[in-house]
Chains A and B, each alone.
Chain A
Amino acid sequence: MSPSSNTDTQNDDRFENLRQELRRGSLPLAVLAALRTEHYGYTLRKTLADHGMAIDEGTLYPLLRRLETQGLLVSQWREEDKRNKRFYRLSPDGKLILKQLLIEWKSIQESLEDIF
């Protein structure tokens, strides 16, 4: 491997790590926002992916559980298409927190734009 391709690989890795870190931080907000409409896990993943926020099942389901434990989501097992699925939606607390987080998100966005 030539030194320049080695540097390119290192840069790609660094970019990928930082990109994932950045996206990881915004995932709870994206999930809460998407769950203003009721979804079960798989459709939620598809919805997020359709909006450019692809998330793997290994990350999404533990996150959903964490948000539910914090009282921001409520879930319910229900049968649909002859299969049991767990449907999630925002709880009243979740709606409140989402509103606050969106304000914070906009403030961060404005600050960053100022810096850029």
Chain B
Amino acid sequence: MSTLTELSLADARDGLRAKKFSARELAEAHIAAVTRIKPLNAFITETPDAALEGAAEADRRLAKGEARAMEGLPIAIKDLFCTEGVLTTAGSHILDGFKPPYESTVTANLWKAGAVMLGKTNMDEFAMGSSNMTSYHGPVESPWRRRGDNRPLVPGGSSGGSAAAVAARAALGATGTDTGGSIRQPAAFSGIVGMKPTYGRCSRWGIVAFASSLDQAGPMTRMVRDAAIMLGAMAGHDPKDSTSVDRPVPDYEKALTGNVRGLKIGIPKEYRVDGMNPEIDRLWEQGIAWLKAAGVETVAISLPHTKYALPAYYIVAPAEASSNLARYDGVRYGLRVPGGTLDEMYEKTRAAGFGKEVRRRVMIGTYVLSAGYYDAYYNKARQIRTLIARDFAEAYRKCDVILTPTSPNTAFAVGEKMDDPIAMYLNDVFTVPGNLAGLPGISVPAGLGGDGLPLGLQVLGRAFDEETVLRVAEVLERAADFKHKP
């Protein structure tokens, strides 16, 4: 029943409840799809048995009329989330063979809501990348191709395996994590929806840490409604993460009223960057026109420190990463390369275990935190962060949400942009400010470029106002009516 994999997550949920098909049939269709997309290398570990077990339990509950919010819905999990007894690598050689003895809070919440696991998805090593090319387990191929060109393309990153799996109809949804755009950019490249919630909305406990003050988990799905359902299951206060915020989780699906009349949408002038693809500019104009037609008012806003977001990010994120990744020492888990002394063992293990991009960032982080440079780099970057957050606070006095493109370009070919780290970093120019300020953002597929590849628009909102972000995103989705498939 391949048509089952074409359903949106919301329609699959409704179909299960209406007994149109069983959770077992839904799981089997998706397990077959996971096998079919093996050439994309989207999964590091497949867990068909877990999916079937979960489906059996779901069918029992559905029969008794006790279905939970995501009962029987097959999803994929980024390999950054610890899953009890299931290999968790973070895309790195250094976590070879690591089977966590515990479950991350976000995945535990998803299983408590009835979702079932198809497997663990490939990703840039330790979530450092925008292409999925830095994975120790090899690059992920996007299911998309440029018009008239069969070269393999990247799905974006770092949540590239999740994006490819959802776009290729092998999962109804997938978890991602977003430190500088790692949910939204691959969602835009792959023609799907990806949401980064407000910092603190989802627990970070049990997620392999990259940059703790920026990391946030979120849903990747094909429709905005699906993202609302999945976020509702993922979110919530967790005493085990001291930055997780104790406030009730709204019914996000209820927020999708379709009514955006009277809302004010900010259009930041600083997001018109030099050398931006003119198609992306046109799509942005189109997005503005769609929202105006739906009754919103547009407001010109200024976020004057936008151009400093990326350089600030490339201090803060590597600094935190260098601290977080200190734990990979060959002693407690993962890879160990023997050495004559303890230090030699550390150095050899970390040299063999980390890929080039991770090594680069750990070294940058080590340098900017080292004695004598801390103020010049790390504190300076934290001051810039304050200014960026102030820019947003000022803007939100005039508007309710902000509309921008998600990425300055469409997907590129596997192997491109690898020789210049800074060219790669520019992929995240529109997404990084939201992380630095901790704000919620969503990417919605809005059209195709001339090359036949998907383009996304981003809606950013006020802290903890995911509801308005989702409501606007759904209106945008309806107007764009994106029906293209890879």
Q: Does A associate with B in a complex?
A: no
- A-side residues, CB < 8 A to B, are none
